[in-house]
Structures are given as structure tokens and as C-alpha cells.
Amino acid sequence: MELRQLRYFVAVAEELHFGRAASRLHMSQPPLSRAIKQLETEVGATLLQRSSTGVVLTPAGAVLLDDARRLLEQADQVRVRVAAAAGPASLTIGILGDSTDEGANRLAAEFSRKHPDVEVRIRDTDLTDPTCGLRAGLVDVALTRAPFERAGLTTYDLRADPLGVVLRSDDPLAQRAQLALADLADRQWFRFPDGTDATWQSYWSGGSPRQGPVVRTVQECLQAVLWNGTIGLAPLRHEPPSPGLTIVPLHDIAASRVVVAWKDSGSNPLIPSLVRIARTAYAN
């Protein structure tokens, strides 16, 4: 039994779908299926029940999942300790804009507890780069939001947040229980600068070209709403930071996904550990 096989198995067990697991692992589905079959042969038990709708863990698979996670975490810890012995360990994390998130707070606390000797550097970025400097090589890993262009990156979805429309409290639409994109067709939206990731820009513009002020930061977005009656989108779990603003649920747009993203986990042995801790921190 190899660590590689266990990583493959954990990916399938967590996604409960071979296609999604293969995408997450940046590999095609046939070799992933063969690796799982080989693992089942080696342990002498069926681990996953396959069907047209997806995958279900067997009792044996559930046992192996718990043990596999522990083994992989121990392997990550070994890599971290070896790297620390070779020199001071550090990790640079990019965080997007207004990141006062309970999940991030839990992640920071648990990561510090498990890696007390690691120097963590934080790069707080504005809304024009959803990869938080990851593509530019400025950070090792990013805590950000999707959707954005993910080519060349590995990502793991941590949580899905429904969206709402940010409005002034005296806006005629602010008293509605919920809104649809059609209700906002003739309004000014805040926009990001030219050259911003097109997938990211389209999502936060509700899928259509918009007219309105160009902004870079969360505060600029909020001030555009307060001063000009501009509208934009925000996760419903975010509380409006001003008594003059409100967020009304928007029912016809996909949820925004909180993700952790990285280029190559082998470039820094702390990345797999951070991802594992993040899965638990954001699940609560």
C-alpha cells in the first residue's frame, strides 16, 4: 500500500465521484479507477460501491478513510519536520480582500497549534486578483473565492455561500424578501478594472456586461453603494458593516465557493497540512 494510493482513495471518498476526484488530482479517470481497484485487491476488501449516480463508501472504506487521513497527515508532518531541520520553515498565504471569516480564524488557530515553529506570512490582496498572487508566484497558497480561471492550479472547495445584493437601506428594493437578476437590469453595478480574470468578473457582474464605477477593494465597493446607489453582490453570511447598507438574498445565481488553491504541493511541504486543516475548519 502506497501513500499515492491512499491520496487517490481519500480524494474519491471525499468527492464520492470518480470524475470529480480525477479532476481534483489532475489526472484522467481510468488510471484513478485502476489505482483504486489495485488498492482494494491489496487490502482484500471492497472500499467503494460504484453506481451510475456516484460512489458510496462501504463499511471497510469508511474505516480505511479514517486511517488513511491519519497516515497522510503523519506523512505530511514528517515532511514538515525534515524541511524545518534543513532551515526555518515558512508559508506565505494569500487572502482575498475582506477575509474576516470564522473558518479562517479556526484555520489560523489550528495551524498555529500544529505548527508552532512555522513563520506564516499573510498577503492580503484586493478584488482584482482572485488568486491572491498565486499565479505570480507571490504566495504558496491562497484562501479565496471561486469561480475564476483554475487552469494550472489545484483547488479544493471548502464551503458554498449563497449571495445577496448590497443596497442602501433606503433603496426601494431593500424592503424585498429576495431579488432576481432581472430586478437589477437597469442599475449601476460596481466593476473591476480591465484585465481582471474574465470568469471572476462575469460572476460578480451577474453574468452580463454592466455599467458602473470601477473598484478594487471591498471598501470601495461599499462606498460606491453608499454614495452613488451602486449595487453589487456579497455573501449573505457577511454582515453589512454600515447601518446604511443591507443585503437582500438573490435567488437566481450560483453560490460563491470558498476555496483553497495552490500550484504544487511539493513546492512547500506545509501546503498539504494547511489544506487538511482547512477542510475541517471550514466544515464547522
- Domain with 145, as residue range(s), is 88-159+255-284
Phi and psi at 260, nearest 5°, equal: -110, 135
Quote the pLDDT of residue 219.
Answer: 87
- Say whether both 99 and 68 belong to one domain: no
9 and 77 within one domain? yes
Looking at residue 70, its pLDDT comes to: 85
Structural domains in the chain (count): 3
Alpha-carbon span 87 to 240, nearest angstrom:
44
**Residue linked to cell 453506481:** 51
Q: Which of 278, 275, 273 is nearest to 114 (CA)?
A: 273
**Residue tagged 481510468 (cell numbers):** 30
Closest by CA to 93, choosing from 149, 138, 148, is 138
152 and 270 assigned to the same domain = yes
Q: How far apart are CA 66 and CA 184, in angstroms?
A: 47
Give the residue from 31, 54, 86 where a domain finishes: 86
Residue 93 and residue 82 share a domain: no
pLDDT at 80: 67
Closest CA to 188 of 225, 231, 250: 231
The confidence score (pLDDT) of residue 99 equals: 57
Last residue of a domain, one of 68, 86, 104: 86
Q: Do 69 and 190 reside in the same domain of the chain? A: no
Give, in degrees to the nearest 5, the angle at Cα 269 between 264 and 272: 70
Helix %, strand %, coil % of the chain (to 5): 40, 25, 35
Q: Are strands 90-96 and 141-146 parallel, antiparallel or unpaired?
A: parallel
Residues 28, 146: one domain?
Answer: no
Q: Are 155 and 265 in the same domain?
A: yes
Buried b (16+ CB within 10 A) or exposed e, 39-68: bbeebeeebbeeeeeebebeeebeebbeeb
Which residues does residue 57 pair with via DSSP β-bridges, in sequence order? 48
Query: 248 has which bridge partners?
Result: 165
C-alpha cell at 255: 453560490
CATH assignment of the domain containing 70: 1.10.10.10
Determine contact, residues 1/39, Cβ cutoff 8 Å: yes
The CA–CA distances, whole Å, from 252 to 43, 188, 255 equal 46, 19, 9
pTM: 0.74
- Residue 139: the pLDDT is 94
**Whether residue 46 is found in the same domain as residue 93:** no
Residues 76 and 102 in one domain: no
Range 109-112, long-range pairs (CB < 8 A, 24+ positions): 110/277, 110/280, 110/281, 111/273, 111/274, 111/277
Per-residue pLDDT of the chain (284 residues; tens, 9 = 90+): 788 888 889 888 888 888 888 877 878 888 899 999 999 998 898 999 887 777 888 999 899 998 888 888 888 777 766 766 665 578 999 998 655 688 889 999 999 998 888 889 999 999 999 999 999 899 999 999 999 998 889 898 999 999 999 999 999 999 999 999 999 999 999 999 999 999 999 999 999 989 999 999 888 988 999 999 999 899 998 777 678 899 999 999 999 999 999 987 667 888 988 998 998 899 86
Task: Say if residue 95 is in the same domain as residue 138.
Answer: yes
**DSSP state at residue 26:** T
